Structure 1
C-alpha cells in the first residue's frame, strides 16, 4: 500500500513571518491504520486506532485496535512520513488499552464471556519483536492502563462494564469493578504475585456497591487518580491501594447549548441544569491538580472539562465555553446534540518547553482543544486542532515536540474515511487550522456543510449551506482577508418570513442588484425540486423557477451543483449523468433571464477509477467559466480533485431535447497537493469555488455537517491570477 506524505510544505501552507516567535501545534502527517495490515490480508475488515502510547525514544507509536484484535505499531523516525511496523495479533481476547514503558508495552486484554462473568489479563509485550514477556490475571474486565512515571508499577482500571440493555442500562450491575496495581521490578517486569486489587466500593453516592472504574493516571508522587464514570465519582489512591481521597464529580449548569437532536438546525438557545459531569478521561497536570473530560454516560456529560484539586475542590469549570469554540469553527455535530454535544472523552497532559498543556479530545466533534494550563485556575484555549473521525486517545512526546492521536472510527461501511493516527508537531510557526471561523460575531453562530460560493466585487465571499441543515438554510458572508477567514454575517433564507424548507442549496451567484440566485439540487423522492431561486439581500425568496419538463423527463437525483451568471444567462453545472447523457458526460444547463429560455451544452468529465466522478461547482471569471471536477474518493484513493475551465466562446447553449455540443475543457489546477496542506487525508467533497476580481481563486470543502466526517472545512486561496 502506498500513501502520500502529508506535511505542511505545500504551496498554500501558512508560513511564519520573520518576527513570528509563537509556538503552535500543527498536524504534519496522517497514517491510515489499515496500512499496518500485511500484504495479502483482507483490507475490507474493520480496524481502529483507540488508545495510543509511545516508546521511550519516541520513535515508535503503539495503539490498540479492538475490532481487529491486534496491537498496531508505527515507525515515526520521520514523523512527517510515518511508516507501518505491522500488527501483533492477540490470542483469546481484545485489547482495551496500551501503556508503554521503555521499549515494551503493557496491554489490557478483555477476555470476558459475558457482562456477568468479566475477565481479562495484562499482557507485557516487547515492541521490537512482538514477543510476550509476561501476563497477569486481573480478575475482571480491564479498561484503561497507566504506568507510574518512575516505572515502579502499572495500574489498570477494572471496569466490569454494565450491560446497557439490562436494568434500563443503569448501575448497579454486579460484579463490581476494582483497581489493579501491579508492582514492577528493576527491569520493568511485572510482579503478578504482588498485585493489589484496590477496593473502591462504598465510596460513591451513586451505586456505591458497583463502582465502574473508567480511567486511571499516576502523578510523580505515585498517586493514582481514578474516574468512575457511571458513579460520577473520582478516587485518589496510593501506590498500595489506600484511598487517599474521594469525591463526587458533581454537576454543572449549561447555557446557550443545542440539546435537541436531529432538528437539522444549529440553534444554541437552550439551558441544561444540574448536568452530572460523569467524567471519562482524567489526567494529573501537577501533583495536586487533575483535569477531567466530562463525556457523560447515563445521565450526564457537561460538554467540557473541569480542574479539581485532589481534595475535590473545583478549581475551574469550562462550562459550555469549549463547545462554543468548537461551534465557531464548524465542527459541531448537530445529530448528536441530545447525546452530550461535542462529547469530550479522552485527554493528554504534557509540558512542551516551559508550558504545561492539556489536549482535550472531543469524540463527536473530531477536534482537539489545546489548553495552556500554566495557571490551573485559568486555563487558556490556545488552539483547536483538526483530527480524524472520533479521537479516542492521545500521547505527547515532548522530547521530540510531537503529539499523536488515535482516531477510532472506521468508515468502511459508510464510505467515509478509515481510522487514522494523526501526528502533530510543536512548531515556531502560525497555526494552520482552522481556515474559517465565526468567532467575533455578535451571536454564537454555527455553520457547516458549506457548498457553493461566489466572490463579491469588494473581495468578500458569499457561501451557502446544503440540505444537511434543512431547517436552517443560510447564506454566509465571509471576509477572506483575515486568517482564519471570518464569517461576518449569516442571512437565513426564508419563504414568507419563515425558514425555507425542501431545498438543497448547492450554488450561489450574485444577481447584480444586491441579491442572489441560488441553485437547488433536487431530490424528488423527498419533495425537493430541481430549481432556481431568486433571493433578495435579506434572504427572502422572491422567485422560484423549476426546471422545465424536458429536464424533468430525464432527471436523476444528482442535479445542480453550482450556478454562475454570464450577462443575462444563468449557467448551472449538473453533477452527474442524467438519463439522456452519454457515459462520462454531463450537462451545463443555461437559463436566459430575459427570454426565459432553457438550453445546455455537454461537458466530458474524467472516467472514474473507483466510484464516480462529477461536477461540484461553476463560476465565471474573465473569458472563462471555471468548474470543479471531483471523484467521491477519500484519502489515498482520491484521484480527481481538479479545476478546469471552458472558454465563454464555447458556452453556446443548444435547445433541450436535441443534440448538445460538447465543450472543450482545459485543466487549470490539480487540488490534491492543496488538500493535504494541513497534514490530513484528502477530503472528498471539494464543493466551493470563487474567483475574486484580482484573480485569486478560493476553494472550500463540504464537511457533511460533521456526520461520519472529521468536521474539517478547508478554505484556501490559490494565487494564480486567473
Structure 2
C-alpha cells in the first residue's frame, strides 16, 4: 500500500491544476563546472562539483572541486542564467566550504599519505578571491559546519582509511576526532580550538572513529556520523559528548540483490548496517541520516532519529522503490548498496518543512514533507546530474541547488554539473514517465503505437538489461504510465543474445523486434516476431552476404508499412558502404526477400547515425543524431524519406541513394528540461493524426543521469530554441 500511495502522490501532484497545486520544484538551469576554467586552460581535464554552499545573500554558489584542487564560484543573481566566477586554488584537496559574511572557510586536505594525515582551514576573502588566513587542523578534514549563530565552526577530522590496506578493514590509525573552532569578529580563533575525542565509543573499531559528517542545530548541539563504525554521536553546545549510539541495521524486502543484467525486486537482505553518511538536524530534537554505506553496509534509504538514538522513521526500501518507478534504479549496484542515498538537506520553504534526499547512484533527489517527522510524505523526485553529492537550499529566494560530482568527459560522457531549481506554483516537469508497480525499467530504445489505441505506446529496452529483454506498455499522460512489462522469452526462458533497438506492432496483437548485433561478441543481427506475451515465434537473421561487412552498429528501429513490408534502419556505415552513407533495409515477411536503399548521413563531430525509424502518411521518418552530449551535441533531428516511388534494390548489388527531408531539430526539445542535452534520442512513434512521440535512452542509469524524457509534438511544428 505504501508503494502505491507513493506513486499515486507523484501522479496526483503532476496532474493537479496550477491554481490549486501547492508549489513545486522544477529545474530552471544547469552549470557545467568546466565553464569555470579560464579560456586558456585545458578543458578536457577532470573537474567536479562536490560539497556546495551559498553565500548569505543566496546569489553565489561555492563548490569544492577536488580534481582541480580548487573551489568554484557561480553567480546566480539570475538563477536562470548562472555565470562563471572562476576557481580559487586551495593548494590541496578542498572538502567542505562554509561562508560567513564575505569570507569562505574551506576545509583542505593536505595529507602526505593515509598514515600521515594533515589539513588546514583556509579563510578566503570572496571579494578579492584570495586565501587570507590558514588554521592548522592537525588531521584530514571531511565535513565542515557553521553554527546558526555564526559563532562556531565544527570540523570532522576523519583521517580516513586506505581501502587498499587489509581490504579496507578498520581500524587504521591515526584516529580521527572533531574540532570546534570559535569565530570572533568574523574570523576563526585557531588558538581557541577544542579537540573532541571520539575514541572508545563505537563497538566496531573504538580506536578508529573516522567521523564523517557534522551538523549544528539551533541551540549549538552537534550531531556526528561515524560511517564505517555505524555509529552516531551527539555533542552538546558545551563541547561534551551528550550521547552516542549504534546506527543499527535494517531488514530490506522487495529489493534487487544481484548484479545480473535484469531488474528483479523480489530479493531480501537481513540486518543490513545503516552506515550513515550525511546527517541534518530537522529541529533541536530530530535529525535525518542518509544511509549510503561504505564498508560493510548501506541500507539504501534514510532514517529520522530522536536525539536519544530512538528511530522516529525508517524509510527502508521505499525511497529506492520510488526511484525504481521513474527508471532511476542502478542495476549495476544491485550486488552492493543499490541507489546509495548519500546526501540529506533540511530546509523550510514558506512554512513547508522539507527534507531533500540525494541518491548518488540513482542520480535523483527526493523531496519529502517532514511536518510530521514520523511520517514523511514524498512530494517529488527531482532529476539531477550524475552523482549528486552536495545539496543547497536557499528558501529566501525559493531556490534549491545540487552539486553533481561525476565527470565522464574522458569517456565522452557528461561533465560534472550544478543544477538549479526554483519552487513556484505549477506542476512538476519531471518525471515524464513512471511505472505503476515495481516493474523495473530503463534504457528505452524503441517505440511503437498500439494500432487499436493511439494513446497506448509500447517500448523496448536494450542490452542494459541483457538477461531480461522486455516490452513495456505505456499509457500516454502527464506523466505517462508504464502499466505492464512483457519479458521476451524463448522456450519458456528469457531470450538471450539479443539487443532490442526497435519495435513495431504487427496489427495482430504481436510485435516485430529489431535486435542490434555485434560480431565482436557473436551477437547476431536479426529481427524477431513475438506474440502478445513476448514469446518468440520467429527469428530472422540478416543475410550472410549482408552481415559479412557488418560492425557493432546494427539495426536501430523497425516499422511496418501498409503493404506489410518491414523497414529497418542500420545505425552507421558498414564496411561495404560508401563513407557517410548507411542502409535502410526492407523485408517481406511473406516471401522472406530482403532489399534496401542507402541513406545519406550528415557529417559532424563524434559519429553520426540513425537511432529510430517510423512510418506515417507514406513517408519513412528517422531519428538522425550525433553521439555527443551536453554543449557538444549539435545534431539531433527527425528526417523523412518518401515511400512513394521508393524502389529498394536486392542486396548484394548497387543500392539507390534516397533523398531526405529534415523535419525537426530536436535539440530545442531536449533543452526544455533545463539540464544538459541528452545524447541518446532513440525512440519514436507517430500517431495517425501526426502526433510524434519521442523518448530518450537513459543507458540503464549506470554512468548516466538516469533521466528519461518522453514527449510529443506535431509534425510540421518546431520548438523555439533557447
1:306 correspondence with 2:308: no
* 2:15–2:478 CA contact under 8 A, matched in 1: no
Which whole-Å CA distance do the structure 1 matches of 2:687 and 2:602 have between them?
27
User: Which of 673, 685, 695 is the aligned partner of 1:678?
Assistant: 673
Change in 2 beyond 3 A, CA 1:15/1:128: farther
Map of 2:140 onto structure 1: 141
SS at match of 2:631: helix
Map of 2:90 onto structure 1: 90
1:413 correspondence with 2:410: yes
Per-residue Cα deviation, 1:276-329 (whole angstroms, up to 9, x for no partner) = 100000000111100000001111100000000111110000000000110111
User: Which of 228, 235, 259 is the aligned partner of 2:257?
Assistant: 259
List structure 1 segments (4+ residues) > 4 angstroms apart after TM superposition: 14-18
Question: How far is 1:128 from its partner?
Answer: 2.1
Question: How far is 1:168 from its partner?
Answer: 2.8
Query: What is the 5 A alignment of 1:158-173?
Result: 158-173=157-172
1:503 correspondence with 2:498: yes
Which whole-Å CA distance do the structure 2 matches of 1:616 and 1:714 have between them?
15
Map of 1:578 onto structure 2: 574
Aligned length: 701
Map of 1:30 onto structure 2: 30
SS at match of 1:676: helix
Q: Normalising to structure 1: TM-score of the pair?
A: 0.96
Map of 2:547 onto structure 1: 552
Change in 2 beyond 3 A, CA 1:265/1:15: closer
Question: How far is 1:694 from its partner?
Answer: 2.3
Map of 2:444 onto structure 1: 450
User: Which of 242, 246, 250 is the aligned partner of 1:244?
Assistant: 242
Query: What is the 5 A alignment of 1:69-468?
Result: 69-91=69-91, 93-185=92-184, 187-261=185-259, 263-438=260-435, 440-441=436-437, 444-457=438-451, 458-459=453-454, 460-468=456-464
Which whole-Å CA distance do the structure 1 matches of 2:324 and 2:241 have between them?
40
Which whole-Å CA distance do the structure 1 matches of 2:415 and 2:159 have between them?
29
* 1:650–1:664 CA contact under 8 A, matched in 2: no
Question: How far is 1:510 from its partner?
Answer: 1.1
* 2:234–2:241 CA contact under 8 A, matched in 1: yes
SS at match of 1:322: helix
Query: What is the 5 A alignment of 1:501-650?
Result: 501-566=496-561, 567-608=563-604, 610-650=605-645
Which whole-Å CA distance do the structure 2 matches of 1:151 and 1:301 have between them?
33
* 1:148–1:220 CA contact under 8 A, matched in 2: yes
Per-residue Cα deviation, 1:38-80 (whole angstroms, up to 9, x for no partner) = 0110111110000000001111000000011111000001111
* 2:663–2:716 CA contact under 8 A, matched in 1: no
Q: Which runs of 5+ in 1 are unaligned?
A: 1-13
* 1:696–1:721 CA contact under 8 A, matched in 2: no
SS at match of 2:528: strand
Q: Which runs of 5+ in 2 are unaligned?
A: 1-13, 718-722
Question: How far is 1:17 from its partner?
Answer: 4.5
Which whole-Å CA distance do the structure 1 matches of 2:18 and 2:511 have between them?
42
- Aligned alpha-carbon RMSD (Å): 1.3
- 150-159 or 100-109, larger mean C-alpha shift: 100-109
Which whole-Å CA distance do the structure 2 matches of 1:658 and 1:624 have between them?
24
Which whole-Å CA distance do the structure 1 matches of 2:32 and 2:101 have between them?
25
